[in-house]
Structure formats: C-alpha cells, structure tokens
Structure 1
Amino acid sequence: MTAELVRGQNHPLSQVRLEIRVSAGTPIVAAAALSDETGRIHGVEWVAHPGAPTQPGLEVSRQAAADHRLAVDLDALPEAVHRVGVLLALPAGGAGPVRFGAVAAPFVAVTGLDGGEIASYTLTGLDAEAAVVALELYRRQGAWKVRAVGQGYAGGLAELLTDQGLPQARQLAGSIDEAVAQGLARSVQAPPPRTADGDRSRQTATPALGPDQGGTAPQGDPGPVPPTSPYGGQPPGVPGQPAPQPTYPGTAPDPSAVTQPSVPTAGSPIDYSHPHRQNTAPPPPPPTAPPAAPGQPAQPVAGDATGWSMEERLYNQVWGMFEDLARTTAAYRSAVDFAESRMDKELEQVLSDPRSRIGGQGDAAREAARARHAQLVAQAREALDRDIAQLTAEADVVEPALPPAYARWDNPVWHAYRPPMEIPMALRLGDLHLPEADRIRIPMLVRLPLERGLWIDSGHTGSSDGSFTDSHAMERLALDTAVAHAARLLAVYPAGEFTVHVIDPAGSGAQPLAPLVQTGVLASPPALGAAGVADVLGRLTQRVDLVQMAVRGGAADSLPPGFDTSQQLLIVNDFPHGFDDRAVNQLRYLADEGPAFGVHLMMVSDREESSGYGPLLDPLWRSLLRLSPVPDDHLADPWVGHAWTYEPSLVPPGSQVLQQVLAQVAAARTKY
C-alpha cells in the first residue's frame, strides 16, 4: 500500500534500488544532492544535476521537463552519505513561471523498479518559492527512510544550495541554469500531451529502468496566451513554450481575429473543441488492427492514434513512435549500466578480500560476476529487440501512408502533388535515429507555423562522414538543405500564404538558389551587398513592428491596405559577411519576435566565422533550432534527452521532384 505523506512525515524503505518520479505540470529542473549526517553538502561532486546527471548511486534528468524519473541506488552511495535530497527548481531566465505558487502543486513518488509506489507526496502550500527540497531519503540506524520535506526557497537553487552548506552554491546554480538552457536549445519541440485514451500500450511493455525516462517537452509555462495573429491561423508560441491548439482541416483562418486561442498546458488533456466548429464531440476512434494470431503481437495500422483526421492521427502516431523508442532505449541503457556497476562492485569486493584475491575461489567469484552481468545484459537486449521489432513493423506501414508535408522527398506521394487548400499541422525536417535501432528512422515533425527559426550549420559537425571535410562542399550542401526546407514550406502552404525572401550578400549561393529563382517563387531576387541586406531587414522588422502593435492593441483591422498577411521566411546565406552591428541587432530581433508575428528566420552559417562578435550572438544561436546538412548527433528528444542522429531531408540525386513541385507552386501563385 502506498504511503501518502504530508510535510514532515516519514516512511521506511524496503528496497535499495528506487525511482523517484516527479510530475509538475510545467517544465522544472530536477536534481539530487548527497549530504552527511548534518545535512551538509561537501562539494559540487555531491550534486547530480542536468550538467552532471550521474553521481555515485544517482542519475537525474539531463534537461528541464514536466515529468522526471530519477534513479537511486542506496547501496552504491559513498559511506559518508547519510541523506539524499530531491531538489526541484523552476528554470531561470526562461519565459515560464518564476515561482511555484503560479503552477500546479508538484507530485513526487518513490517507487520500486517495477513501478509500484512506496510513498508519495504532493507539495502544496508553495507560493514565492523558486526552488524546493521535495523529499529526503535518510539513513537511520542502518535503515533507510523517506521524509516529505517541502522546504522552499524564494532565492532559487543558489539560496537552496547555500543553505545546504555548499561553498560553491552560486557557481553551481549558474552552471545548472546554463546546462538547462543548452538542453532547451537542442531539444526537439514536443506536441501537446496525448489524452489518456490515446496512450500507447507498448509504453508499459518494458520496465522503466532509466533514470530520466519521464517527461514532456522541456518547455516553459505558457504564461499569458497571445492573441490570434492577424495574418491568419493560430499564433505560434515562443521558443520553449507548448504548441498552440492546431487549426484543424476544414476551417479557414480568420485574418482579423484577435480572440484568445486555447493552449493546453503540460499534463492536461487536449481540448478537441474547435473555435469555429459547433460539434464538440470527441474525434472519431482510430482504425483498429485485424485480430492477431494467439501469442503474436497485433499488426500495426497506419493512423492508429487519436485525431480528427488521418493527418492528425499520423502526426500523433509518429510522435508516439518517437517517444516509445526514446523510453525503451533508456530502459535498455539503464539496465546495461546497472549490470556493469553491479559487476564492478562484485569484482571490487573480491579484490578487497585477501582470501579470495588469488586461487580458485577468486576465479570462481569473478566468473560468477561476469556471468550475472551477461545474463542481465541479455535480458535487457531481448526486451529492447522485442520493442524494436514492433516499432520497425509500425514504421514500415506508417512511412508509405504519410501526406506530402510528412513524407520524404523520395515518397511517391510527391508525384501526385497539388498545392493544398489548407495549412497542415506539421512539417518534416528530416529523420532521427539511435544507434541501438539504426534501421528505424523517426520522421522529425515540427508544428506549423514554425515556432523557432532554423539554423543550417555550414561549419564543422560531429559527422563521421569524412567526405564533407572541405568547407566549400559543406557550405554548398548547407544551402542545398536550406533550399529543400524552403521548397517544402512553400509546397505545404496554400497559394499566396507563404513568402520567401533571400539575403545572399556576396552572391555566393547563386547556383544552389537557382531552383527558387528560376521558378519565380521568391518575393524578389536575392538581396546582394550591404544595401540589399539593409533593405530586406528593414522591411521585415517594420512588418513585425506593425503586426505586433496591431495585435497587442486589439486593432488588427488597422493594418495598411494591401498588407501582405502571408507567413514570411527569410533565408540568410553566408552570415556574418555583409552584416554590420545594426543588421545583427535586426536579425536578433527577428529571431526573438518574428515567429509570433509571422516572420521566420533560416540562417545558413558557420558559427565559428561569427565568433568575432563575441557573446553578442549567443542568444541568436540559442533561439534557433540547429540542423546539420550531414548526419550528426546533435538533437535531443524532449523526454529522456538522448543524443539522436539527425539526417536532413534532401532531394535524391538526379531527381527533378523539387523543380516540379516548385513549378506547381509558382503556377498556383500566379492564379492566386
């Protein structure tokens, strides 16, 4: 029976390997601190946090998330440790809440590895606190107990760690904030949470052994909901915020609406009601698979998730596959780590005993330890292979069923392409995969309108492909990647609802940009020289200013006659060449404010080449989603934080599909 604790109450622990599960309803930072009998933390190495997620006996999440799973092995803790404090904090410097009184009360549970709850605690009564000691595991007379603490600190992690006696408290708090910011910058934006009836049963197939397998996207609290943008459709959130409620097929956007859209908060069920729909019934059930043979897994079906349309079902299904693979891989990695740590501990015990250090007894003990390690790893691999086989079968039926916005360029669906009448929910920017399941490619889908700008990195990447060491080849491939992304964006928007501008100061991208220029889909020829840069940036920043004032002033109808209400994309090639300080500040402004008001940025740049600006550009890079033109393991999932290998969505060599699609886009624009 689970013990539901109140503040100050304790409960005995009968297990030494535990999970601590945290559910907060909004992204928070989770950490764990080791301390002695007096509650003093001896040094930074006694704290497990996103910047250093693994310490002896502890593993915590690598990023901010609404849900966390922390792993604790009490037997692996150093002898000097008598307490383990579970620390929760709101991310500093983000767009989310700054005090726990503004969010739902966090819930913390101590469970065994089988998921069975041992004790739980809801942290009620918090107000101005930005950090809190939620629980404390402590050793008393050789036995371990858990105590509900709930001690909050308005000064955040710095004040909390100082109170715990850590001399480097402020430095450590700063490094934690930095690690969280980096995690947000590299994490793929997650969709709103699925409803309970949309959960996938496979998620419970493998016991959760990972330290940080829980969590939704590391996104900030939605805060005040922005009004609907006057240029049509629902406004995107700022980086780090949950995606807005989608505009479902069958409803045209209202260009003058300034009402408050419904934005689901993390942990809440999705509201399937539509502002322009009288029918408030839930979406129709997804298709069901034919009955499986006894003892065999069910056959996968494309679109088996919930949703109003097949497009939405496929979107939710892809994200479900992404989450399933992240969690099952985390369980496997955690099981392997445990097997190795257990074997190391057993071998250490053998070596520490002089009687078993040599001779047949020691050899037998070492062999037994290695055999137990092999058995545990084999069991973990068997569970992983079972889940991968099911995911592979699902991927094989889902990929051919994807609509153009979600499909690869080599999918035959593009041969039947016609300009759409409505904006899709999302767009495919490439594929993601993990080394344990290299055959499975998860489509990387991002919500539309784009909530963050894109940065196509033309510099050094971590790719093992040595054929792209030449800088000129990388620059060309990066711009080819940008053109492919821009063409896809043009193709999935209705005619006249998406406009592309290009800045190419030195004219070095003439050849890769040729498909956009020759088909006539650009708003104007690529801007050249300093004068061209100043003209384009000036017009777009002025546009953001006008829309921003109209929306915030509740006067969307006051925009000038003939104002272009389409979404705007600015491709910037070869930055920082041709940019002065004023132009750099305008770029930062567009990156920060543009997405919420219909202007999106796509940078094609080598970050090292802009190092002369110093830290001035760091906020710019962090506000953009970095993509690579070659396979590179630089993106993280929003649940566990694995490093996923990203592969860009490129047109197959020799294919004319991109030119054919752009020609149809241009023809539709002419009719429009």
Structure 2
Amino acid sequence: MTAELVRGQNHPLSQARLEIRISAGTPVVASATLSDADGKARGLEWVAHPGTPDLPGLEVSRQAAADHRLAVDLGAMPDEVHRVNVLLALPTGTGGPGRFGAVAAPFVAVTGLDGAEVASYTITGLDAETAVVALELYRRQGAWKVRAVGQGYAGGLAELFTDQGLPEAQQLAATINEAVAQGLARSVQAPSQRAADGDRTRQTAAPALGPDQSGPARHGAPAPAGPHSSSTYPPQGGRSEHPTGPVDPSAVTQPSTPGADSPVNYSHPGRQSSAPPPPPPAAPPAQPGQPARPVAGDATGWSMDERLYNQVWGMFEDLARSAAAYRSAVDFADSRMEKELDQVLSDPRSRIGGQGDAARQAARAKYTQLVDQARQALDRDLAQLAAEADVVEPALPPAYARWDNPVWHAYRVPMEMPMALRLGDLRLPESELLRIPMLVRLPLERGLWIDSGRTGAGEDPLADTGALPHLAMETAVALAARLLAVYPAGEFTAHVIDPAGSGTKALAPLLQTGVLAAPPALGAAGVSDVLTRLTQRVDLVQMAVRGGAADSLPPGFDTAEQLLIVNDFPHGFDDRAVTQLRYLADEGPAVGVHLMMVADREEAAGYGPLLDPLWRSLLRLTPLPDDHLADPWVGHAWTYEPSLVPVGSQVLQQVLTQVATARTKYQ
C-alpha cells in the first residue's frame, strides 16, 4: 500500500535497496547530503551531486532532468550516517524558470527496485524558492524511515548547504552548477510544450490515462511511479496523454506554459486562426490479438510535417523509457540474485552439500527467467517501434529525411521554413538496428560544434590517420546544405571562415554550386573581416529590436538568417576574434546569426577556461558514431550518427544547384 505523505509525515521503510524517483515540470538538479545524528553534514565528502554522483550506498543523477532515479542502499551506509537528505534545485543560467512557484509541483516517490511504490510526496506550497529539501531518510531505533520535508530556500543551494553546516557552501553550489552546465551542453533539447501535451496521442484502443485512471505498464518491466496513476509508462500499443499527470520535461523550452488545468494552446505566431488542428489519420484496424498497425503522421498537429515531427519525438521517448524499464528490470534481477546468494552463503548448513548447490542454481535460474521476461518485453517494444520506423521514414519530408531518402530527388525549394531539421540519427545499445531521427527545431536556438578531435568512437582507424578533420568538415557541409535547402529562397545566407584553406576539398559542393555569400575567408585578415561584419549586424538588429524600430534598418540590409561556418578553430584567431566569436555564439541566435564550428577542443586548450562557456553553448556533434548525447527523460547516453551523403551520390549537388538558381532569381 502506497503512503501518500504530507509535509512532516513519516513512513517506515522495510527495504534497504530503494529508488527515489523524481518528476518535475522542468529540469531540476537532484543531489543528496548525508548527515550525522545531529543533522550536520561533516564535509564535502558527504555530498552526492552531478559532479560527484557516487557515495557509499548512494548514487544521484549526473545531469539536470525533469525525471530522475536516485539509487539508495541503506545497508551500505556508514554507521555514522543517520540521515540522507534528498535535494532538488533549479539549474542556474539556463533560461529556465527562476523559482519553483512558476512550475508544476515536484513529485517524489520512494520505490523498491521492482518499481513498487512505498511512499510518495508532492511538494506543494513553493513560491520563490530555488532549492528544496524534498525528503529525508533517517534512522530511528535501528530502523529506517522516510519523512516528507519540503523545506525551500530562496537563496538556492548555497543557502541550503549553509543551513546544513557545510563549509564553503558557495563554492560547492558553484561546482554543482558548473557540472550541470557541462551536462546540459550534451543533452538533446526536448520539443515544445505543444508537442509534449497533445501531439503524440495515438488513435488506438488503449485509453489515455487521466487523473483517476491507471493503465498497464509495458509487460514484464517495472514502471516508474507518478502522482496520479500507478504507471507513467504508456499502455502497450500506443502512447498516452497525461492531461493532469506528470509534466513533460519539454516544458522548459516553452516561453509561456499553460496552467495544469488549462487546455493546450495551439496558437501559432504565423496563424490567424486559433482553432484546434484537425485530428490525425486513423490507424488501420488491427488483427485480433495484434498491436495496431503503425501509420505515418498519427500524432496531432496542424500539418503532416508537424504530425511527423511529434511522432518522431514520441518514438524517441518510447525507446528511452522502454530501455529504462529493461535496465531497471535487469538491475532488480541482479540484486535479487545477489541477495539470495548472500543468504545461501550466510547459512553454514548450506555452504556445502547438495542443498547449497540447489539454492544457488535456483537463484541463477530465477535471474535468467526475470532477465528473459524483461528482454521479451523490450523486444516487443522494439519490434513495434521498428515497424513504426519502417512506415515513418519513407514519409518524412526533406528536412527530416536522410540523404538516401528518394524524397530528395523530388526536391523543390520550399515556400516556407519547416518546423525542424534532421541532424542525424540516435540509437541505444539495446537497439543497434533501430535509429531514431534527431530533429531540432528551427530556427536553431544554439550553435553546432562538429568535433574534429578524437572522440569516443572506439578504435576507428580514422582516429589515427588525420582524416577526422576532413570528415568533420564533410559533416558540417552536409548540415549546412540541409539548412540552405529547407529555407525559402533568399531567407538563409552562409559564410565560411577557413583561415588555412584546409577545408577546400570538403567545401567543394558549396563552392561549385555558388550557394555561399562569398568565397571562404582566409588568413587572420579574413577572419577579422567576417567576424566584424557579423558582430556589427548583431548589434544593429539588437538595437532596432530593442528600440521598436525593426523597420528602420538600412536599405539593402540582408534580413536573411545568417550561418557562419568556422573551420580549423582557433587557427587565425587572435584574442579579439575569439571574443567576437563568443559574442556571436551567445547573442547571435536570437537575431538570426547562427554558428557552426569545426574544431578540436584540445587545439584551443591554450585559452584555458576562457572558452569553456563557448563549448557549453554549442551542441556537440561528431563525424563518427559516439555515445555523448542525453535524452531529456531518463538521461540515457545515446549514440549519435551524422547524416552524411551516400558515397557516389549526386543528390547534394542537385539540391544545392536548385538552391543557387532560386537565390539568383530572388536577387
């Protein structure tokens, strides 16, 4: 029976190994402190946070997210530890909400490793607080209990740590915020609130979960707890809405989020009508006992492009949560077998003879059975997602499609900008053959960094041949070509800085078709000229916008979105140029100036921490498959693969030729 706690209430804990699951309406930082019998943390070594996530008996998340799972083993706690304080804080410097009162109340649940909820607590009544002690697990007469605390601090983590008697509280809070910033730089941005609240809904036989309903989790896998139902996993066969349930982490990217009880706002800045979008196409009837056959565009949206965008994000989330359920089930099976084997070894009578051997065999057989059940459930989910991918991939428009998709052969310069752009593919170790398109909203909200240094790509021979910089530049050219191709004629302009001319071969498609605004800038003088012109453009547009005089820009001013491709950084850059580049990365996207860097971070190590904010502000991509991107739901490390043009294909030249022709006519 689950205990729904209120502030100050406690509940006994009968298990030593637990999970603390957190659901919030925005990415939060989860950390924990250990305290002695007097309630004081004895030092920094008693704090688990994203920079130091592991302590004896405790593991916290390594990044900010809207959903967290903290692992706790009370049996492994040092004898001097009497309390475990679970802390939540809003990350600083991310543009997110500045106080807990501006987002949905965080929900915290204590569960067993099998997913069974022991106690839960919804932290209500928060307003200006930016950090809060959510729960405390504490010893009482040799037993452990959980208490709902809900103590908030307007001064953030620094004030909270000071209250707990920790030395150097300000420095510790800054260390945590730095670790979180580095983690956010690796994360994949979640879709907008509109996509989260209603756009993944399927027309299937499975009902959506409401506040008073509960649905089955994916078969054979423990489901995470939620505040309104026994499962926050979608029911088998389709994704479900949660009208008043856990808030999707994508809310952080929405400038104004509707209230918990208000309908989803489908208004669009470019639309005169605020009527709801038409319903998605109905799925063909399924055979009895079989899941519904997938349909391309079965999410809601104003257009097929919007439906497909929301459907792809739904597939991304489904795969993330299915893999999380499988991993959780395997962890549970492993801990159960370990516990049973410990019991066998602790009994002297069973250490020798047939009785002990039988017990060990039974424990291993149970482990195999549980893992097989979890794998079967995962395989069912993967098969359903693979079938959906087989239907969705051929239906994608050019902006979302791979270069080998036939849709590019029918390419025509579009009349309007699409919702999003495909940057590549994402996959997990559990699903090597299943690729999910990595889509980002347009216009780009952050710059792109194609890492030309050694990556975590394993023993790829390219890493030692010097071919990585060339492959990185080819990746940049393929991405730049996509951006040029998906914007209407005259609405996107590309510039290139190539100080040493090392990218000439990779730039050939852009140079031969004439889609660049000017030849690549060479040498230090070329670097200075391009950066000066673009920084002046950013200044001019900012002044016009802030002064409410956007229509007073100089005659002939290029109002198109600007893309700056920088190759071989920091070659050719002096201190002034580096400062200008940082300025463009920070201020440019808001006024239509976007940065794409091809660089090896180690080559810029001479600048020290000066460039750390620059790297964090960019979305890192790699020319080779690499496990470095995190999803916004459970924080899996996803393998990113770039979207490159097939060897020998002429599709890139054909597309760019049309772009150049349309640009000439526009001028």
> What is the TM-score normalised by the length of structure 2?
0.88
CA distance in 1, matches of 2:282, 2:143: 50
Match of 1:526 among 494, 516, 520: 520
CA distance in 2, matches of 1:65, 1:37: 31
Is the CA contact 1:203–1:324 (under 8 Å) kept in the aligned structure 2? no
Q: Residue 399 of structure 2 aligns to a residue in which SS?
A: coil
> Alpha-carbon deviation of 1:591?
0.4
Q: 5 Å matches for 1:229-268?
A: 242=253
Counterpart of 2:29 in structure 1: which amino acid? V
Partner of 1:397: 391
CA distance in 2, matches of 1:45, 1:332: 32
Partner of 2:368: 374
> Alpha-carbon deviation of 1:304?
1.0
Q: 5 Å matches for 1:343-382?
A: 343-382=337-376
> Alpha-carbon deviation of 1:649?
0.4
Closer, same or farther in 2 for the Cα pair 1:63/1:266, shift >3 Å?
A: farther
Q: Residue 469 of structure 1 aligns to a residue in which SS?
A: helix
CA distance in 1, matches of 2:116, 2:365: 28
Closer, same or farther in 2 for the Cα pair 1:524/1:316, shift >3 Å?
A: same
Partner of 2:197: 195
Say whether residues 1:330 and 2:324 are aligned partners. yes
CA distance in 1, matches of 2:79, 2:604: 49
Q: 5 Å matches for 1:14-25?
A: 19-25=19-25
CA distance in 1, matches of 2:571, 2:456: 25
CA distance in 1, matches of 2:107, 2:559: 44
Closer, same or farther in 2 for the Cα pair 1:91/1:218, shift >3 Å?
A: farther
> Alpha-carbon deviation of 1:196?
4.8
Counterpart of 2:587 in structure 1: which amino acid? E
Q: Residue 472 of structure 1 aligns to a residue in which SS?
A: coil
> Alpha-carbon deviation of 1:151?
1.6
Match of 2:304 among 297, 301, 310: 310
Closer, same or farther in 2 for the Cα pair 1:243/1:506, shift >3 Å?
A: farther
Higher relative contact order (CA 8 A, sep 6+): 1
Percentage of pairs with the same residue: 80
> Alpha-carbon deviation of 1:580?
0.4
Say whether residues 1:469 and 2:471 are aligned partners. no
Closer, same or farther in 2 for the Cα pair 1:168/1:585, shift >3 Å?
A: closer
> Alpha-carbon deviation of 1:19?
4.8
Counterpart of 2:6 in structure 1: which amino acid? V
Counterpart of 1:482 in structure 2: which amino acid? A
CA distance in 2, matches of 1:671, 1:99: 51
Is the CA contact 2:333–2:370 (under 8 Å) kept in the aligned structure 1? yes
CA distance in 1, matches of 2:187, 2:120: 30
> Alpha-carbon deviation of 1:371?
2.1
Closer, same or farther in 2 for the Cα pair 1:338/1:470, shift >3 Å?
A: same
Closer, same or farther in 2 for the Cα pair 1:324/1:266, shift >3 Å?
A: farther
Partner of 1:205: 218
Q: 5 Å matches for 1:551-590?
A: 551-590=545-584
Q: Residue 662 of structure 1 aligns to a residue in which SS?
A: helix
Counterpart of 1:28 in structure 2: which amino acid? V
Partner of 1:497: 491
Counterpart of 1:638 in structure 2: which amino acid? P
Match of 1:636 among 615, 624, 630: 630
Is the CA contact 2:521–2:530 (under 8 Å) kept in the aligned structure 1? yes
Partner of 2:212: none
CA distance in 1, matches of 2:331, 2:78: 18
Counterpart of 1:132 in structure 2: which amino acid? V
Q: Residue 284 of structure 2 aligns to a residue in which SS?
A: coil
Partner of 1:227: none
> Alpha-carbon deviation of 1:217?
8.1
Q: Tell me whether 421-430 or 167-176 shows the greater mean CA deviation.
A: 167-176
> What is the TM-score normalised by the length of structure 1?
0.87
Is the CA contact 1:65–1:217 (under 8 Å) kept in the aligned structure 2? no
Is the CA contact 1:570–1:599 (under 8 Å) kept in the aligned structure 2? yes
Partner of 1:427: 421
Q: Deviations over 1:201-228 (max 9, x none)?
A: 6994254457999998878x9xxxxxxx
Structure 2: gaps spanning 5 or more residues: 207-214, 227-231, 234-245
Is the CA contact 2:538–2:593 (under 8 Å) kept in the aligned structure 1? yes
CA distance in 2, matches of 1:34, 1:315: 44
Q: Deviations over 1:328-381 (max 9, x none)?
A: 111111221222233233333443444443443333333232222222211211
Counterpart of 1:205 in structure 2: which amino acid? R
Is the CA contact 2:27–2:249 (under 8 Å) kept in the aligned structure 1? yes
Partner of 2:401: 407
Partner of 1:30: 30
CA distance in 2, matches of 1:367, 1:477: 52
CA distance in 1, matches of 2:443, 2:649: 28
> Alpha-carbon deviation of 1:511?
1.5
Closer, same or farther in 2 for the Cα pair 1:546/1:582, shift >3 Å?
A: same
Closer, same or farther in 2 for the Cα pair 1:120/1:469, shift >3 Å?
A: closer
Closer, same or farther in 2 for the Cα pair 1:463/1:427, shift >3 Å?
A: same
Is the CA contact 2:489–2:663 (under 8 Å) kept in the aligned structure 1? yes
Partner of 1:236: none
Counterpart of 1:30 in structure 2: which amino acid? A
Q: 5 Å matches for 1:284-299?
A: 284-299=278-293
Closer, same or farther in 2 for the Cα pair 1:576/1:449, shift >3 Å?
A: same
Is the CA contact 1:61–1:69 (under 8 Å) kept in the aligned structure 2? yes
CA distance in 2, matches of 1:279, 1:203: 38
Counterpart of 1:600 in structure 2: which amino acid? H
Structure 1: gaps spanning 5 or more residues: 222-240, 245-261
Q: Residue 433 of structure 2 aligns to a residue in which SS?
A: strand
Q: Residue 301 of structure 2 aligns to a residue in which SS?
A: coil
> Alpha-carbon deviation of 1:277?
3.6
CA distance in 2, matches of 1:355, 1:318: 57
Count how many residue pairs are aligned between Structure 1 and Structure 2. Answer: 635
> Alpha-carbon deviation of 1:619?
0.8
Is the CA contact 1:192–1:270 (under 8 Å) kept in the aligned structure 2? no
CA distance in 2, matches of 1:89, 1:563: 44
Say whether residues 1:651 and 2:645 are aligned partners. yes
Match of 1:274 among 248, 260, 268: 268
CA distance in 2, matches of 1:338, 1:45: 28
